[in-house]
Amino acid sequence: MNKYFSKIIITGLVLSLLIVSCTTLDSDVETVSLDNAIQEAARNVENNLEAGTKIAVLYFSSESEAFSEYIIDELTMLLINGKKLVVLDRKYLDQIRNEMDLQLSGDVSDESAQSIGKFLGAQSIVTGSAQKVGNFYRLRFNTIKIETAVREAASSFYLSKNDRQAYDLLAERNNKNSQNTTRATKRSYFVNNGGSGIILALSGLNSNNLPQDELWILNYLQGSIDSIFKKYSNIVILDRSPEGQQRIMDEMEYQFSGLVDDNEVVMVGRLRAANYVIVGTIIKTNNFEYSIQLRIINVETGIQNAAYTLICSLEQIRDTTAIRKISYELFTQMGIIFTENGKKALLEDL
């Protein structure tokens, strides 16, 4: 009986020591509110960059989109109001973040971020993350110079447990488990990075010999390309936002004439901050067959990096069999290596 009570006493003492130890560690951690952390991060960025530097607040990785968006918005506003740096317009930034899940994804490499920043015209980019460390959230901010990939500024803070607003934002998980499952499935399609770092602008398609009542095929193909590239690769697709739709429709008015050359396509790609442009032509060869040709052009060099032509039926266009086959060929020419399951999923649209 004495041994029994002795064990209870010893166990109680050990637990007490652990509690005291944890309490001491917690008390030693210097914490700040979320707003103060963002303000300090903005000050650190400004102090370490030359006046007039073109900068983009690219992404902030956390378990909550609401939390990440708040930090991106506040940091961007502070840098704009500071008037020392040139903060890039969020027009393309928002679209790229949405396409790539950059707020939530923790597997964006510095190289990919650097590539995106380069083609946005930024000289430096700001990235960040929130990670649970013990009983606290640790916030990190990094500023990377595009040309050299050198980290120009870095700051780290522990988030105060008393910041109710911050923890309310963190509580908005936005179906994170579902998003993680989707990303995990997508990653299983590739042997490599799935084209991460490629930013692709969709140019309107040319047509030849298409009757008026079949012009819908052009927009249908563009929508199919957009959907397939997003689902089966890590390539970022621009210009499918509501704002971009009108530009596409405007372009199609003159592209029906077949007067668009590669130089014009490259110019469009540069204006849209893309490093590649996809362009194509559909020809009605007879009453039953269509020829679809798609090409991917490097905006920087003007060189064609991928091309594929397929003869298909209208039914193969409708059920996306044709565009999935063409997309697979273009993906492989762009260096994406699929697993067997990935290839099967793409070609059979599982």
Residue type for position 18: L
**CATH no. for residue 279?**
3.40.50.10070
Residue 14, domain member (yes or no): no
CATH number for the domain that contains residue 71: 3.40.50.10610
Residue 6 in domain:
no
How far apart CA 17 and CA 57 sit, in angstroms, is 44
Is 20 inside any structural domain? no
The total number of structural domains that make up the chain: 2
**Residues 60 and 199 reside in one and the same domain:** no
In a domain, 16, yes or no: no
- Residue 42 within a domain: yes
C-alpha pair distances (Å), 166 with each of 28, 157, 326: 21, 13, 46
Tell whether 277 and 310 lie within a shared domain: yes
Segment holding 288, helix H or strand E:
none
Same domain membership, residue 196 and residue 177: no
Q: Are residues 258 and 302 in the same domain?
A: yes
Looking at the structure, tell me whether residues 232 and 315 fall in a common domain: yes
Classify 237 as helix, strand or coil: strand
Predicted TM-score (pTM) of this structure: 0.56
Query: How many CA atoms are closer than 13 Å to the CA of 256, on its beta-carbon side?
Result: 15
Does one domain contain both 214 and 87?
Answer: no
Question: pLDDT tens string for the chain (350 positions)?
Answer: 555 555 555 555 555 555 544 444 456 778 999 999 999 999 999 999 999 999 999 888 888 888 988 999 899 999 999 999 999 876 656 656 555 555 445 556 666 677 677 766 789 999 999 999 888 999 999 999 988 888 999 999 999 999 998 998 888 765 555 555 556 677 789 998 899 888 888 876 888 888 888 888 888 888 889 889 988 998 888 754 444 444 444 444 444 444 456 666 666 666 666 788 898 899 999 989 999 999 999 988 889 999 999 999 999 998 889 999 999 999 999 999 999 999 999 998 65
Whether residues 42 and 164 share a domain: the answer is: yes
3-class DSSP assignment, residue 307? strand
* In a domain? residue 24: no
Domain boundary among the residues 147, 165, 183 is at: 183
CA distance 39 to 62: 18
Residues 152 and 37 in one domain: yes
Residue 227's domain comprises 192-348
Q: Do residues 210 and 305 make contact, with C-beta atoms less than 8 angstroms apart?
A: no
Residue 25 inside a domain? The answer is no
Does residue 215 share a domain with residue 157? no
Q: Are residues 63 and 197 in the same domain?
A: no
Q: Which residue, 181, 174, 125, 122, is CA-closest to 150?
A: 125
230 domain residue, yes or no: yes
Domain boundary among 183, 204, 226: 183
Q: Report yes or no: 322 and 300 within 8 Å, Cβ to Cβ.
A: no
Clarify whether residues 151 and 236 are in a common domain.
no
Q: Which residue has the tokens 């380069």?
A: 118
149 and 259 within one domain: no
At 277 the three-state DSSP class reads strand
Q: Which of 131, 159, 183 is where one domain is finished?
A: 183
